[in-house]
Structure formats: C-alpha cells, structure tokens
Amino acid sequence: MFTIKQDAESLAARSAKIKAQALAEGFHKVGIAQAVSLDEERAHLEEWLRRGFHGEMNWMARDRESLLRRTDPRLILPDARAVVSVALNYYTPREHADDPTQGKISRYAWGDDYHDVLGAKLKRLLLWIKEQWTEAEGKVCVDAQPAMDKAWAVRAGLGWVGKHSNLITREYGSWVFLGELVLNLDLEYDTETIEDHCGTCTLCLEACPTDAITEARVVDSTRCISYATIELRQDELPARVAANQQGWLYGCDICQDVCPWNRFEQPTTETAFEPRLDETSLPLLKVLELTLDEHAARFRRSPVKRAKLHGLQRNATALLTRASGNKDSAGKGKN
Ligand code: SF4
C-alpha cells in the first residue's frame, strides 16, 4: 500500500515540477495527456482529407504511414507515455493599418517564426527534464503533426476547438501557438477537458468572406484566404479568394477577430512576437519591387517567408488589381 501511495504522489510531484518548469520557460499554459493513439481524431482527419479540404497540402495525405505517425506518439517515440502540451500567447496589442495601399499580415506572422521560438523553449524544457530524471527520453513537436496540436491541447485540458477550428483558451482566446513534448515518463494526466464554450455563437461562420467554414469545426482550405495566400503554389489566387481578399496579403484573421472569446486577449510576455520593423501590414507597391535578396533578408526567420516572394507578389497583385477595378467601377458609376 505504501509503495502505491508513494508512486502516486511522486507522479503528481513530478508532473507538477514539469509544469512549473514549462511556465518558468515562458509558456502560458501547460497540460499533460496520456500518449495514446488519437483514433477518433485520425478518423476526422481522414474524412477531411477524403473530402479534399487540404487542397494542395499533399504532404498531409502522403501515405497511411505518415498519417499514423502524426496521430500516434508511440510511432515517434516507441516507449512514449505522456504528451506535455504547451500554449504560448502571441497577442500583441497592435492593429493593422487602415490603408488600402497596404496588405495585411496575419497576427501570428508579425514577429519571429514561432517554430524557432517554441522549439527552443521545448528543447530547453526537455534538457531540464533529462537532467532531473536520467531515464527520460523525449521528442519535441512543433507543427510536426499540424492537425494534432489541437487534439493534444484539448486532451491536456488547455482549451476547446472553436467553430473556426482553432483552439480557444479561456485566458488568451485563440491567439496561442501550440507545441508538444512526447516523453517516456509516466506522469499524472490531466483528464479534465474544458467543455466547448462556443454555444450557439456562429459569428466566425458568418464572418468568413469565402464561406470556407463549411460547418462547425470544418474548414475547406481550398476556399480559405489563409491557405490560398500562404500555402497555395499557383500563379493566380482562386477567383473566390481574389474577389473576397479584404486586404489580406498574408494569412487572414477574420474568423478569429470576430470571436467573442478573443476579448480575453492579453498582451504576450514574449518579445519575439512583437511586429518586426513595427509592421503589421506591408505597402503593396513595395512588395512588388522586392528582389529575391531583399525578400530573403527581410523575412529571414519570419513566418512570412513561407509564401515565398512569388506568392507574396501574387497576393499583392491580386489586391492591387481588385483596388484598381473598384476605382474604375466607382468612376463609371459617377458618369
Ligand atoms: S481564415 Fe479567413 S478565409 Fe479562412 S476560414 Fe477564417 S475567415 Fe474564412
């Protein structure tokens, strides 16, 4: 009896220490889930892929093996026992320029690349854990299993998946980056999940200008401005996106901006997420003039580099074309 009680206490104590260290590392939320296969989430992901909602993100649907790898932590770390899920608030109290000559950048991409910021923190946390418990082994995951970050965060009790399909936390709204540490340690798991607090609200579905949220928690990427302006590698934006771009040069925050839970936004303590060069939007004509070298220097270690120069200039051209079309039709209206 004594051993069982002691084991239980040491699991709780060990888990509390890891959580305290994660918070000391600068994470804003942390929880622990049992490392099991995400069967239900995998079924949802498979259905989403079957419907073609991933667009050209073919790496998501590459093969069964990679799908299993993304949904079963034991295929990343054979003796995985626990998944430490962390959230990092990235909200900075800044707004986009109200200027049609500028293209808006999604809030998540204003500062340094979160892969680097989150990854460095998780690596330091893993090192610390290994120093405390020499038997510890672990793997750092930042966007390595993109669809599954949210699943782990839900299971670890960090928040719930909103109807716009982003994780929502009660303390920081949806302005959080997510990451995980898969560990071979037995820990005390957070079994209390946070219930869905979206209720009957459908503001995000109504606000999406391209009707990309086909139903609660299902986003058709092929219609999404964020996907098109970041991930899509085509010379032209899809007509539906170009006609409804609403000033977005890179990404789109509309469904998150209207979310009532984002009234709980709090300025982040992480200075790496402050807007680089004080810019939350970019002058469209300047984007068209960027050379490859200038683009590489300006967006080094910035999420914006993901669209590549070609994509950014395509997005800027679409915004300018639309603006000049509007001007022409406004002029005709007056005649
Ligand atoms: S990011 Fe923009 S386009 Fe995509 S679902 Fe949200 S509101 Fe719609």
Give the tens place of pLDDT for each residue, 281-310.
Answer: 999 999 999 999 999 999 999 999 999 999
pLDDT computed for residue 135 by the predictor = 95
107 occurs within a structural domain: no
pLDDT computed for residue 329 by the predictor = 57
> Hey, whose CA ends up nearest to atom 1 of ligand 1?
252
Mean pLDDT score across all residues of the chain: 91
Looking at 129, 148, 183, which one is the last position of a domain?
183
Q: What is the pLDDT of residues 19-33, one digit of tens each?
A: 999 999 999 999 999
pLDDT category, 2, cuts 50, 70, 90? very low
CA atoms within 13 A on the CB side of 334: 5
Distance CA 9, CA 55 (A): 48
Closest atom of ligand 1 to 213 CA is: 5
pTM of the full predicted structure? 0.92
Count the domains in the chain.
2
Q: How far is the CA of 174 from the centre of ligand 1 (A)?
A: 14
The answer on 230 and 167 residing in a single domain is no
The answer on 169 and 39 residing in a single domain is yes
248 occurs within a structural domain: yes
The answer on 119 and 17 residing in a single domain is yes
75 occurs within a structural domain: yes
311 occurs within a structural domain: yes
Task: Kindly state if the Cβ of 224 falls inside 6 Å of ligand 1.
Answer: yes
pLDDT computed for residue 249 by the predictor = 98
193 occurs within a structural domain: no
Q: What is the pLDDT of residues 125-137, one digit of tens each?
A: 999 999 999 999 9
Distance CA 300, CA 258 (A): 31
Closest atom of ligand 1 to 254 CA is: 7
Distance CA 227, CA 245 (A): 12
Percentage of the chain surpassing pLDDT 90?
79
Task: Kindly state if the Cβ of 254 falls inside 6 Å of ligand 1.
Answer: yes
The answer on 64 and 147 residing in a single domain is yes
Whether 185 shows a pLDDT value over 60: the answer reads: yes
Q: What is the pLDDT of residues 136-165, one digit of tens each?
A: 999 999 976 655 999 999 999 999 999 999
pLDDT category, 331, cuts 50, 70, 90? very low
Cβ atoms of 32 and 156 closer than 8 Å: yes
Tell me which residue range forms the domain holding 173.
Answer: 2-93+113-183
